[in-house]
């Protein structure tokens, strides 16, 4: 397997260097990194570029309209560069793309090596997928967050994997970029488009991909409001009225607000997430 890790940055300070350090420490060396900076003014891009003299890193600095536009620009540059004589072209099923935000770290130095082995095994067994996903550990709580072992419609409605734990087939991303009209939920809409509209196969991996920093705009009061509004709009596109009613009713009947409180409260988050992961594995 060959991997492309895309890091989108803006005034990231030392967090950009920390993320790059975690990527370059990977035991599997068959990867490249694309750093897409949105013309930072804090010197973080220049400092990182001077510090990390590694030919596997491609550096891009250009204005963008936010994180998802930056991700799209990195993808466009990636695909364009792959067409040159000195690089290997996009080969479906052999190159996978992962997005890490500044401050997010690979869980350990063996992540890409373990992921490569899991993908190769699934392909050899005839179960290859266009989308592979694992789990994250929340840095703030130290908890490992479980994900559904398969992505049916209800799983897609309720909770898709964090984009920092998703690996996309490169050829799929060359056709499907992020829709930047969604300020907070563009990664969610993109996942639904690939899985529900295109019908692309997904495969879960029982492995922690990323230590997730969190605390960004999407978790601020304003960001949460935008996220909730966008979730309603996006689910109207991809789910029928009957599905939306049934799924919301189920979440209300299973005390979703209480479960969210238990999942986020420092005194209960550990026990709750252990139970949740155990139940998800039995689905």
pLDDT in tens, 64-80: 999 999 999 999 987 65
- pLDDT value, residue 89: 46
The total of structural domains in the chain comes to: 1
- Is residue 230 one of the residues assigned to a domain? yes
- Is residue 282 one of the residues assigned to a domain? no
Is the model's pLDDT at 15 over the cut of 90?
yes
- Is residue 13 one of the residues assigned to a domain? yes
pTM to 2 decimal places: 0.86
- Is residue 174 one of the residues assigned to a domain? yes
- Is residue 83 one of the residues assigned to a domain? yes
What are the start-end ranges of the E strands in 74-181?
Answer: 95-101, 105-106, 131-138, 144-145, 166-169
Residue 113 sits in a domain whose CATH number is 3.90.550.10
Question: What domain range is 158 assigned to?
Answer: 2-240
Residue whose pair of structure tokens reads 């090596």 in the numeric block: 113
- Is residue 163 one of the residues assigned to a domain? yes
- Is residue 267 one of the residues assigned to a domain? no
- pLDDT value, residue 49: 96
| Across 77-86, 118-127, 169-178, 204-213, least confident range | 77-86
- Is residue 99 one of the residues assigned to a domain? yes
More confident residue, 269 or 30: 30
Q: Average pLDDT, stretch 16-32?
A: 94
As a whole number of angstroms, the distance between CA 98 and CA 93 comes to 14
- pLDDT value, residue 84: 40
- pLDDT value, residue 129: 95
Q: Please, are residues 272 and 256 in contact by the beta-carbon 8 Å criterion? A: no
What is the distance of C-alpha 11 from the center of its chain?
Answer: 21
Q: Please, are residues 190 and 176 in contact by the beta-carbon 8 Å criterion? A: yes
- pLDDT value, residue 228: 93
pLDDT in tens, 99-109: 999 999 999 99
């Amino acid at each position: 397997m060959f991997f492309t890790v895309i890091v989108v940055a803006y005034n990231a300070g030392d967090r950009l260097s920390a993320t790059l350090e975690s990527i370059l420490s990977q035991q599997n060396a068959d990867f490249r990194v694309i750093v897409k900076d949105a013309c930072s003014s804090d010197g973080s891009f220049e400092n990182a570029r001077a510090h990390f003299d590694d030919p596997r890193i491609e550096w891009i600095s250009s204005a963008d309209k936010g994180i998802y536009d930056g991700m799209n620009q990195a993808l466009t540059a990636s695909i364009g560069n792959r067409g040159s004589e000195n690089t290997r072209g996009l080969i479906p099923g052999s190159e996978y793309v992962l997005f890490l935000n500044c401050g997010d770290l690979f869980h350990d130095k063996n992540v890409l090596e373990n992921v490569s082995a899991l993908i190769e095994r699934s392909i050899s067994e005839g179960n290859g997928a266009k989308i592979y996903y694992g789990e994250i550990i929340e840095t703030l709580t130290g908890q490992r967050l479980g994900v559904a072992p398969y992505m049916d419609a209800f799983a897609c409605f309720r909770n898709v994997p964090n984009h920092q734990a998703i690996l996309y087939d490169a050829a799929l991303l060359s056709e499907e970029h992020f829709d930047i009209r969604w300020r907070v939920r563009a990664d969610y809409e993109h996942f639904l488009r690939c899985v529900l509209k295109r019908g692309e196969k997904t495969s879960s991996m029982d492995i922690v991909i990323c230590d997730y920093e969190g605390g960004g705009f999407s978790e601020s009061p304003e960001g949460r409001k935008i996220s909730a509004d966008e979730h309603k709009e996006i689910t109207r596109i991809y789910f029928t009225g009957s599905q939306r009613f049934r799924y919301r009713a189920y979440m209300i009947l299973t005390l979703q607000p209480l479960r969210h409180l238990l999942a986020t409260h420092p005194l209960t988050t550990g026990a709750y997430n252990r139970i949740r992961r155990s139940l998800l594995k039995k689905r």
